[in-house]
Amino acid sequence: MVVGEISQQRNLVIIGGGPGGYSTAIRGAQLGLSVTLIEKVDMGGICLNKGCIPSKTYTHAAKKRAESAHLQELGIGNGTAGFDLFKLQAYKDKVIGGLRAGVESLCKQNKIEVIRGKAGFLGPNKIGVENGHQFDIYEFEQAIIATGSYPIMPFPAPEKTKRILLSHEIFELDEIPEHLLVKGMDYIALEVASSYAALGAKVSVLFDSMADCVFDESILKELLRLFKRRKINVIKDIHLVSVNVTTDEIAVTFLDDKKGEDTIHGSHLFVTGKSKPNVEDLGINRIGIVLTNEGSIHVNGSLQTSIPSIYAIGDVTEGPLLAVKAIKQGKAAVETIAGLKPETDLTFMPVVAHTIPPFVSVGLTEQMARDFGMNVRTSQFPLGSNGYAAITGCKDGFIKVISDPETEIISGIHMIGEGAIEMSGSFVQLLEMAAKEEDVKFPLYAHPSCSEGLLEAVEGLIDQAIHAVPSKKKDLLKI
C-alpha cells in the first residue's frame, strides 16, 4: 500500500454516493461550496444499483403484464402477453446504467470532485481513503456521512444459499421462482409478492400480525382481498419456527395460532431483512461519534453528530430507511453548513408501495387517530365509481380521508389504486398545510381524472359525493 505523505486539504467531504450523498453534493455545489464526494463502488448507491430502481423496473413490467387482458378489450394484442426474463434484465441494466451515467455527469457539471475508494476517519477532521494499493489522507472542514445501510437476515438461517433472498438479491434471479415464499408485510415484501405473481410465479405470503401494519389497515385488507383474487396465498398470524433448505426446495415451518405447527414448501424464500447502518468500516468509534442503542448515528436537529464538524444523513441515522429521507436530510445538512436555516420535518413522510395496484398512506391512520383520542370521521370513495378508472380498467381500490368533524382539519389520506404514487405528493402538501375539507373541495379538478376521487372522498365526509351511494343519515343543511 502506498500512503500519501502529505494530508490534502478539502472543504466539504461527503462519504457515500447514493441518492442522499450525491443530492447533498449537488446542493452544496449550488451553494458555492467546494465539494468532494467519496464512493467506494458505484455512483447511485444501493438504491440505484440494487434496490429502488431495479425493484421498480420489475414492478413496472409486472403491471404491464397484468394489463394484458384490458389491452385485449381495447383491441390491442390477443390477451396473452408473453414474458422474457432476460430481456427484462437487460432493460433493467440499461435503465441503471443510464441513470448512473446521469449522476456522474451531473457531478462533473457541478464541478464536484469524485474520489473512488473506501473511506475511514483518522480523526475529527481527518479521513483516509483506500483504493487498491493507494491510500490518501484528507483534512476537511466539514464531513457528511451518507453511507446508507445493508440488509441482514432477521432470523437464524441455513448457510448461504440462492434459495433465500434478501431485498438486494431478489431482482438478480435468472429464473422466475416456481413457488416463491414471501416473509413479511412491509412495502418491499408486498411489492415482491405482487410483482412475481404477475410475472408468473406461484406466490405465498406469510406474516406475523396485522397489528404491525404501518399503513392504514383498510389498505392492507383491500390488498389482501386482491391477492386472494389473483390466487396469491396469504398465511397470517404465524410465528416462524424454522427454515430448512434442500437441493430442490425450501421448507418454512411455522406456528399458526389456530392450527398449530405447519410447514409450507417452496422453491425460494424472500425476506426483506433487517437493515443495519453501514458504519462498521468508517472508524467512527475511533473518534468517538455517539451511536444509538440500535447502532444508528445519533444526530441533533441540524443533522450534526456528537462531533460538530461531522454530519450524518439517511439510513445511518434513526428513523425510516427511505431515499426520500436521505435526500431531504442531505439538503438540510449542507444548507446548515452554508449558513442557512433549513427545517426538516418527517411527520408526513408517505408510505408508498408499487404493488398491483399501488398504494400510499400519508398522515394518521384511522386507528392511530382513535388511539390518540381524536374525534374522527372518515370517508372512503371507491375508484370503481370514478370515470377515468372505468376508462383505464383500473377500478380496484379507493381513496380514504380522515378528518376531525369539529375543526374539519384533514389528518390522514390513504389510497390504493392506479395513480396513488403520483397523487401522494398532493396528499403530503395538504397535510403539511393543515388543510381543511374546504381546501380540497374548493379547487377545480380535471374531468375525467383520478384526482376527482380525492374530491369525492372529501365530499363524502358530509355525504356530498356525487358518485357514491348516500349514507342513511344526511345533513342537508351543510353545503
**CA 348/CA 413 separation, integer angstroms:** 10
pLDDT computed for residue 1 by the predictor: 53
pLDDT one digit per residue (tens) for the chain, 479 residues: 555 558 899 999 999 999 999 999 999 999 999 999 999 999 999 999 999 999 999 999 999 999 988 988 899 877 566 789 999 999 999 999 999 999 999 999 999 999 999 999 999 999 999 999 999 999 999 999 999 999 888 877 766 678 999 988 999 999 999 999 999 989 999 999 999 999 999 999 998 877 667 889 999 999 999 999 999 999 988 998 999 998 889 999 999 878 889 999 999 999 987 889 999 999 999 999 999 998 999 999 999 999 999 999 999 999 999 999 999 999 999 999 999 999 999 999 999 999 999 999 999 999 999 999 999 999 999 999 999 999 999 999 999 999 999 999 999 999 999 999 999 999 999 999 999 999 999 999 999 999 999 999 999 999 999 999 887 654 444 44
What is the structure's pLDDT at 478? 45
Task: Look up the pTM and report it.
Answer: 0.92
> Which residue in 70, 133, 268, 447 is the catalytic one?
447
Q: Are 10 and 140 in contact (CB under 8 A)?
A: yes
Residue with cell 410465479: 201
Cell numbers linked to 209:
400480525
Output the pLDDT for position 479. Answer: 40
User: What are the cell numbers at 70?
Assistant: 384490458
DSSP H/E element including 350: none
Residue-by-residue DSSP string for 308-346? TTEEE-GGGBSS---HHHHHHHHHHHHHHHTT-------
265 tagged catalytic: no
Sign of the CA dihedral with 447 first, then 450, 451, and 454 last: positive
Q: What is the CA radius of gyration of the chain?
A: 25
